[in-house]
């Protein structure tokens, strides 16, 4: 079998498998939803009010981005094997996302906080826009780690119940 025949057979097999039968997609989505729901609960405990905007917000405990990519990587590892190039790719993707969440995005959030303070001080003396920058953009290492655990546990739970 030559390379073209292999590619054709792979494409035909993939065409038969619909995206909604892909357990990794559902694991990633479930991990993200679970993390966002946990944020809403944490927010309720802190402020004693329900805020549905936390379901789509960035930042906070736990990291939904970390939960999603770790759920995806775990699911791919369970299905394709932890020694496959596909798992290595999803693992690398997860590491980049988690690093970005706890460093680059967190730094941007801290900068936004400082800029908002500066604008507040200037606003007292001058007529400026009251629009503020979003400050909760990134995550602490603990939030990223708890997102990682959430994703892995969701993946293991879903695979235990739904994997063929």
Asked whether the predicted pLDDT for residue 3 surpasses 60, the reply is: no
Asked whether the predicted pLDDT for residue 66 surpasses 70, the reply is: yes
Asked whether the predicted pLDDT for residue 8 surpasses 60, the reply is: no
Q: Check residues 68 and 60 and name the one with the higher pLDDT.
A: 68
The token pair at 55 is: 């379901």
Q: How many residues does the chain have?
A: 164
């695979």: which residue's tokens? 159
Q: What is residue 6's predicted lDDT score, i.e. its pLDDT?
A: 47
Q: What is residue 43's predicted lDDT score, i.e. its pLDDT?
A: 83
Measured distance CA(40)–CA(35) in Å, rounded: 9
Spell 136-157 as b/e; 16+ CB within 10 A means b: ebbbeeebbbbbbebbbbbbee
Q: Check residues 27 and 3 and name the one with the higher pLDDT.
A: 27
Measured distance CA(110)–CA(90) in Å, rounded: 29
Q: What is residue 7's predicted lDDT score, i.e. its pLDDT?
A: 45
How confident is the model over 90-131, as pLDDT tens digits?
999 999 998 887 776 666 766 777 776 776 776 666 665 555
Q: Check residues 78 and 104 and name the one with the higher pLDDT.
A: 78
Instruction: Evaluate whether 6 touches 27 at the Cβ level (below 8 Å).
Output: no
Asked whether the predicted pLDDT for residue 133 surpasses 70, the reply is: no
């Amino acid at each position: 079998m030559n390379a073209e025949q292999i590619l054709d057979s792979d494409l035909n097999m993939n065409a038969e498998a619909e995206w909604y039968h892909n357990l990794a997609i559902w694991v990633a989505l479930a991990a993200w939803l679970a993390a966002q729901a946990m944020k809403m609960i944490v927010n309720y405990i802190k402020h004693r009010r329900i805020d549905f905007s936390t379901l789509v917000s960035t930042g906070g405990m736990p990291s939904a981005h970390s939960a999603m990519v770790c759920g995806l990587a775990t699911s791919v590892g369970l299905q394709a094997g932890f020694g496959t190039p596909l798992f290595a790719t999803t693992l690398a993707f997860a590491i980049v996302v988690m690093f970005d969440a706890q460093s680059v995005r967190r730094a941007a959030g801290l900068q936004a906080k400082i800029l908002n303070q500066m604008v507040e001080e200037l606003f007292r003396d001058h007529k400026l826009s009251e629009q503020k920058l979003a400050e909760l953009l990134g995550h602490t290492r603990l939030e990223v780690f708890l997102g990682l655990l959430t994703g892995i546990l969701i993946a293991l739970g879903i695979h235990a119940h739904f994997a063929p």
